[in-house]
Amino acid sequence: MIVYILFFLIFVLPVYSKDFCRKDTRDIPDIILKPLYKGFDKPVFFLGKSGKFYVVEQEGRIKVIEGNRIRILLDISERIENRGEKGLLGLAFHPKDPKRFYIHYTVRENSKLYSIISEVTLPKKRERVLLKIYQPFDNHNGGHLEFGPDGYLYIGLGDGGSANDPLNSGQRLDTLLGKILRIDVDKVSKGRNYGVPEDNPFVGVKGAREEIWAYGLRNPWRFSFDPVKGYLYVGDVGQNAREEVNIVRNGGNYGWRVMEGSICTPGVKDPCDPSLYEKPIWEYGRKDGIAIIGGYVYRGKEFPELCGVYFFGDWGTGKIWGLIYDGKKVIKHKLLVDSDMMISSFGTDDAGNVYVVDHRGGIYKIEVK
């Protein structure tokens, strides 16, 4: 009995004592976007943690909102490249050590472009580079970082840019481009500044990069884990035909450059057998948008009507949708907002609320109408 009580207190109670709503709604209600903050310079990410809000600005600054006060946590604007799809793009805090956080940004060195994944330690803001990845073109840099429920850091990288993935990075396993990576930031191995989890799908596979968790992605700009069900939702930006939402799993191949969404990629002549690839759970075409922005599943207690709804949007049209995924298929889908925003990201906080980031400077909170 004592052993059972200790197990409950250590492992079960902390999970169920969180604010996360655990039973999915049966429908998707109408929403409003409540304005919270404005005046930021090209914000691309927003995160609420431990009573503070963090805003990532593309030009190289991370700002902290504490009550009515805004201060700069980090400024690397003088040493990054931030035009187009480049810049300071991602932020993730270590799940157990509040003094460590991780950033994803682009730099130009000797005329070559690189994506950098770094660990920053407070209070001295000491930086340790974990990964430096050569980018053959200027676009499709990815940029997102997220710690999974397993404590490992997941990293999104685009295919390296240009059109039709000319280097076939999405399907090659000898490159980190066009992938979701999974690394252990608390260990070092094989001369690297990080470890590779032993259950990564390509550990020990000849010619494959062991950091790879999933592949066949074009530009996984934003992704997130459902904190209750554990699904990894990825918004993968399409080319000329499809935008897609994927549930990404260990070792999955999501088709790019052979597939764009559920169709064979127009203009690419690779042999195409759709049955060989994982299919998106949702996709849309050009009448609805041009660049998907992946979001979050609502798990807050403030609006139980939203429990289990995954929110995502489109940068080009400002539309925001909600869907409910039951583990096999999407059972509800709804267009919720048709705005004039340039949506660059969604965000969340410790209480499970979901926010929308407008690249033109505003932060909004999703609430029930």
Q: Is the residue at 13 inside a domain?
A: no
Edge-to-edge, what's the strand order for the sheet holding 100-109? 88-93, 100-109, 112-121, 126-135
Edge-to-edge, what's the strand order for the sheet holding 319-325? 292-297, 310-314, 319-325, 330-338
CATH of the domain at 56: 2.120.10.30
Tokens of 97: 């050590």
Please tell me the predicted confidence (pLDDT) of residue 53. Answer: 98
Please tell me the predicted confidence (pLDDT) of residue 360. Answer: 98
Q: Is the residue at 351 inside a domain?
A: yes
Residue type, 167: L
Residue with tokens 């472009």: 113
At 110, give phi and psi (nearest 5°).
50, 45
Considering only CA atoms, give the Rg of the chain. Answer: 20
Q: Is the residue at 161 inside a domain?
A: yes
Q: Is the residue at 71 inside a domain?
A: yes
Three-class DSSP category at 16: helix
Q: Is the residue at 156 inside a domain?
A: yes
Please tell me the predicted confidence (pLDDT) of residue 92. Answer: 98
Query: Are the beta carbons of 356 and 322 closer than 8 angstroms?
Result: no
Residue type, 57: E
Please tell me the predicted confidence (pLDDT) of residue 367. Answer: 98
In order along its 369 residues, the chain shows pLDDT tens digits of 454 444 333 343 344 446 689 999 999 999 999 999 999 999 999 999 999 999 999 999 999 999 989 999 999 999 999 999 999 999 999 999 999 999 999 999 999 999 999 999 999 999 999 999 999 999 999 999 999 999 999 999 999 999 999 999 999 999 999 999 999 999 999 899 999 999 999 999 999 999 999 999 999 999 999 999 999 999 999 999 999 999 999 999 999 999 999 999 999 999 999 999 999 999 999 999 999 999 999 999 999 999 999 999 999 999 999 999 999 999 999 999 999 999 999 999 999 999 999 999 999 999 999
Burial class (CB in 10 A: 0-12, 13-18, 19+), 167: middle
Residue 110: CB partners within 8 Å, gap ≥ 6?
none
Which DSSP helix (H) or strand (E) runs through 346? strand 343-348
Residue 53: CB partners within 8 Å, gap ≥ 6?
37, 46, 47, 64, 65, 349, 363
At 14, give phi and psi (nearest 5°).
-60, -35
Please tell me the predicted confidence (pLDDT) of residue 12. Answer: 39
Three-class DSSP category at 222: strand
Q: Is the residue at 2 inside a domain?
A: no
What is the spatial distance between Cα 283 and Cα 359, in angstroms, rounded to a whole number?
Answer: 23
Q: Is the residue at 12 inside a domain?
A: no
Please tell me the predicted confidence (pLDDT) of residue 9. Answer: 38
Residue with tokens 């990410």: 45
What is the spatial distance between Cα 146 and Cα 91, in angstroms, rounded to a whole number?
Answer: 8
Residue 44 lies in domain: 24-368
Q: How far apart are the first and last CA of the chain?
A: 47
Please count the structural domains in the chain.
1
Q: Give the number of other Cβ atoms within 10 Å of residue 301's Cβ.
A: 13
Q: Is the residue at 219 inside a domain?
A: yes
The DSSP bridge partners found for residue 262 are none
What is the spatial distance between Cα 278 and Cα 186, in angstroms, rounded to a whole number?
Answer: 31
Please tell me the predicted confidence (pLDDT) of residue 20. Answer: 85
Please tell me the predicted confidence (pLDDT) of residue 7. Answer: 37
